[in-house]
Homo-oligomer: A and B are copies of this chain.
């Protein structure tokens, strides 16, 4: 097991309904040393790519994306989930359905911050059905930017998202892929990578 799988096995909590709670270290309370290690690992995996920006989506992707962007020495841009009066002018917009919150959101990125010159690393904490990633990809493509790769912290391998993204031809790296979870025993089965 890699460092992340070890941490998930130690502190992740399996709940009925295929819910994996990692809120003690990843998406509510954040272990900053772990975030830094995740950032370094994404940099290692995409070191061959000429990344100009890291793109993520609020909220829990932001911390991870910050530390990945730090490693690449590039800015980070996060897509927002609803129109703010502080964002005006031209925006890229995509529709995203949330598995967690069971609702639909528009996600938006100001056109000022993505262009055809950009080579993007797209980052998020979780990949399940892939709707959020597809929204980010569609925004990147609308900008004419190159999606060099996608970095996910935890992929739910038993859901469709990873397969869809890989079938589209994108390079997707998930630091941990959970293939099965048993809420009765708390056992988490990781895919060998």
A: residues with CB less than 8 A from B are 15, 19, 21, 23-24, 27-32, 35-36, 58-59, 62-63, 66-67, 69-70, 73-78, 80, 82, 84-88, 100-102, 109-110, 112-113
Query: Contacts A19-B85, A58-B59, A59-B59 known; A28 to B110 CB distance under 8 Å?
Result: yes
Return the chain B residue nearest A74 by Cβ: B32
Give bound CA distance, A46 to B41, whole Å.
Answer: 31
Contact indicator B63/A112 (Cβ below 8 Å): no
Instruction: Pick from B29, B82, B113: contact of A29, CB below 8 A.
Output: B113
Tell me how many chains of this kind the complex includes.
2
Contact indicator B23/A110 (Cβ below 8 Å): yes
* A109 cross-chain contacts in B, Cβ below 8 A: 28
Query: Contacts A58-B58, A59-B58 known; A36 to B75 CB distance under 8 Å?
Result: no
Contact indicator B28/A87 (Cβ below 8 Å): yes
Give bound CA distance, A75 to B66, whole Å.
Answer: 15
Instruction: Pick from B19, B29, B62, B80: contact of A75, CB below 8 A.
Output: B29
Give bound CA distance, A36 to B113, whole Å.
Answer: 20
* A102 cross-chain contacts in B, Cβ below 8 A: 85
Q: A23-B87, A28-B87, A58-B59 are in contact. List 9 more A-B contacts (CB 8 A).
A: A19-B86, A23-B86, A24-B112, A28-B78, A29-B77, A30-B75, A30-B78, A32-B76, A36-B70
